[in-house]
Chain A
Amino acid sequence: MTRINQPHPVLRVDNLCVEFATTAGQIRAVDQLSFSVEAGQTLGIVGESGCGKSVTSLAIMGLLPKPAGRIVDGSVLLDGQELTRLPEGRLRQLRGAELSMIFQEPMTALNPVYSIARQMTAVLKRHQQLSARQARHRAIEMLARVGIPRPDQRIDDYPHQLSGGMRQRVMIAMALSCQPKLLIADEPTTALDVTTQAQVLRQMVDLQQELGTAVILITHDLGVIAETCDQAVVMYCGSKVEQAPVADLFLQPRHPYTAGLMQSIPRIREHKLDRLPVIEGQVPNLAALPPGCRFAGRCPNREDRCVQQQPPLTERGAQQFACFNPWNGPVES
């Protein structure tokens, strides 16, 4: 297996396999996934619903729903420390301190019955042995850094008194308050309107740069990837189909699935289209995966061997892709 080897990745995920016990039997939601993120770098994970993006983030955090979800193979190294074998108590000390996570739904992700101050200081006091006064001071400072106006007053608000964008900023402030090495942002702006989305993303990236945090940004929005990420991993049906620096990925996607995703982005075109291009066909059922390439059924470049065997990850420059017959053409349809 080939990999882009970086000198000191903050997070290295290697050959991660996650399975869920369902009524239809064991389902492999994430299959042999490997990637790494460096300090100050942003890695985007993109893919459609159900491709394993969120399961990957939960697996890294050790928050897979128990007992159904389980890491069956692979390793997750945070700064050289193996997370998959850590006992729950030790992992709990890392969550919020060394690795943090923010979620898609800012409207419901905060506890509605406690003030922002109470929730933020609880995290700081838990992980950083601060006094109540120090914790409050630090929380206000973090709120100011994510662009919340009059943070010394807003901190005593309850979540319902804040807008969605403000709540997501609070989440970002809370997630970065203990200066974690890694931040996982699972669709952080999907629930926000477009203008707020851009502001919140900018604030998050600025703060990340200042603190040197490694970020995994999970999204299904290629625009968000283009704006914020250094590297991007494209996932399909639980496995990585392509990984590349963002510029290369947009310039020349190699996997036909990536190319399909790019083509289906609405954009201003010279000639008006009757309908937006779509990727034909359906995502295969995870309980009954085909033996060959998982995308073969929908792929315009399909060959016979695609149906029979899984294409290995091939490396071309900084770009990796799992395809026998990679895309070479332009993305504009």
Chain B
Amino acid sequence: MELLSYVIRKLIGGIPLILGVTLISFVLMVYFGPDKTFELLSKNPTEAEIAQVRAQLGYDRPFLVRYAEYLKEMATLDFGFSDSTGERVSSILSRTIPVSLALLAPGFVLGNLLGIVLGLVAAWYRGGWVDKLIMGGAVVGMSISFLVVIVAFQALFGVVLGWFPVRGWNVHDLPSYAYYVTVPTLASVFVALGYNTRFFRAVLVEEINRDHVRTARAFGARPAEILFRNVLMNAMIPIVTRILFSIPLIVVSGSLLIESYFGIPGIGKVTFDAITSGDQPILKAVVGLTAVLFVLILIVTDILYRVVDPRVSLTGDAR
């Protein structure tokens, strides 16, 4: 009950945030975004022709009306038709978003899980050779550009070994999914792991020096138990924060890079093409949905804080 009312309050509180974010991005799109007027006109148009096309595109209406219409599109998830392909934006999204999720999820989960495990091991043996080895590897991983990793992995697994495809996405069952997802996953894990491990080790080392860890040791707890219950569970707030807030970044920029390099028809590829071709209906949809995603993540983060730490109160009053 406490949780439900909290979620509702947070959702209501998220509305001004969504309005603010969409307003700013809409202003940017209207005044600095692509203008289709002259693409639709012939050479040397008259003033009347320009005005006619602008009216047809809806550019002549007052800003607030256009913004209200955008909000209506957001609410109904109906963003009209793509300028370049003429397909419904909603059907483009429902076709490509699942592809992106399927593509990114394994790398995201593995990158974080492995990062936490390596961070725990390094923190436990802090100062020792195991720690130095893991941290050295992390620095190496961080130092190599994502683009180089993608190309190198494509060359290794696709060309030299020939085990996996370099491009494409022809997924219809589990084996074909594994066939197409492996190399992109390996590449994104390789790139994320260095950053993740360093971050997780830092927050875990801080917890490992706490008094309650010493208490657990004095009461005969095993190292695995200490690492999980005392160290990891107490470091959950920074960990949850980092993992959740990396989601929008991965969805937007991570998918864009991977999908364009692997020729995968996901939302990142669609967004990239929309930017280059000035396809405003798609851009409006992507920008608006990203803002909503952010607000949802904020709410989920707060709820998870409550789940992982009993000291966090959802009602706002101190106990």
Contact = CB atoms under 8 A, between A and B. Distances in A.
A322 to B, nearest CB: 31
A96 B215 CA distance: 10
B218 A112 contact: no
Interface stretch (B45-53, B143-151, B229-237): B229-237
Interface stretch (A103-111, A215-223, A292-300): A103-111
Contact of A96 (B210, B218, B225): B218
Interface string B203-219: 00000001110111111
Contacts of A114: 229, 233
A111 B212 CA distance: 5
Interface string A75-110: 000000000000000001111110011010100111
A108 B233 contact: no
B310 interface: yes
A61 B319 CA distance: 36
Interface string A230-262: 000000000000000000000000000000000
A123 B229 CA distance: 13
A126 B218 contact: no
Contacts of A127: 220
B172 to A, nearest CB: 44
- Contact-residue bracket for chain B: 20 to 34
B56 to A, nearest CB: 61
A39 interface: no
Contacts of A174: 219
Contact of A95 (B212, B219, B309, B311): B219
A123 B212 CA distance: 14
B126 to A, nearest CB: 11
Contact of B218 (A61, A111, A113, A161): A61
B61 interface: no
A111 to B, nearest CB: 4
B218 A101 contact: yes
A158 interface: yes
Contacts of A111: 212, 215-216, 229-230, 233-234
A113 B231 CA distance: 10
A109 B215 contact: yes
Interface in B283-319: 308-311, 319
A151 B212 CA distance: 22
Given A93-B220, A126-B221, A103 B214 contact: yes
Given A92-B220, A126-B220, A113 B310 contact: yes
B222 interface: yes
A303 to B, nearest CB: 43
A97 to B, nearest CB: 6
Contact of A113 (B216, B222, B233): B233
A100 B311 CA distance: 28
A41 B103 CA distance: 67
B26 to A, nearest CB: 43
Given A113-B234, A158-B310, A97 B220 contact: yes
Contact of B220 (A108, A112, A123, A161): A123
Contacts of A100: 218-219
Contacts of B309: 112-113
A105 B221 CA distance: 19
B240 to A, nearest CB: 13
B236 to A, nearest CB: 8
A160 B311 contact: yes
Contacts of A63: 214, 217-218
Contacts of A110: 212, 215
B211 A96 contact: no
A36 B211 CA distance: 28
B238 to A, nearest CB: 14
B220 to A, nearest CB: 4
A101 B210 CA distance: 16
A290 B240 CA distance: 54
Contacts of B310: 112-113, 115, 158, 160
Contact of A112 (B214, B219, B234): B234
Contacts of A115: 310
Contact of A94 (B220, B230, B233): B220
A88 to B, nearest CB: 9
Contact of A108 (B211, B225, B229, B311): B211
A254 to B, nearest CB: 34
A112 B222 contact: no
Contacts of B225: 122
A114 B319 CA distance: 17
B214 A95 contact: no
Nearest to B222: A92
Most buried by B among A94, A97, A101, A111: A111
A105 B212 CA distance: 10
Interface string B16-48: 000000000000000000000000000000000
B202 to A, nearest CB: 19
Contact of A123 (B211, B219, B222, B233): B219
A108 B212 CA distance: 6
8 contacts: A92-B220, A96-B219, A100-B219, A105-B211, A108-B212, A112-B212, A113-B234, A126-B220
Q: What 3 A-B pairs come out closest when comparing CB atoms? A: A96-B219, A95-B220, A96-B220
Given A113-B309, A115-B310, 18 more contacts: A63-B218, A92-B220, A92-B221, A95-B219, A95-B220, A96-B220, A100-B219, A101-B218, A103-B214, A109-B215, A110-B212, A111-B215, A112-B311, A113-B234, A123-B219, A126-B220, A126-B221, A158-B311
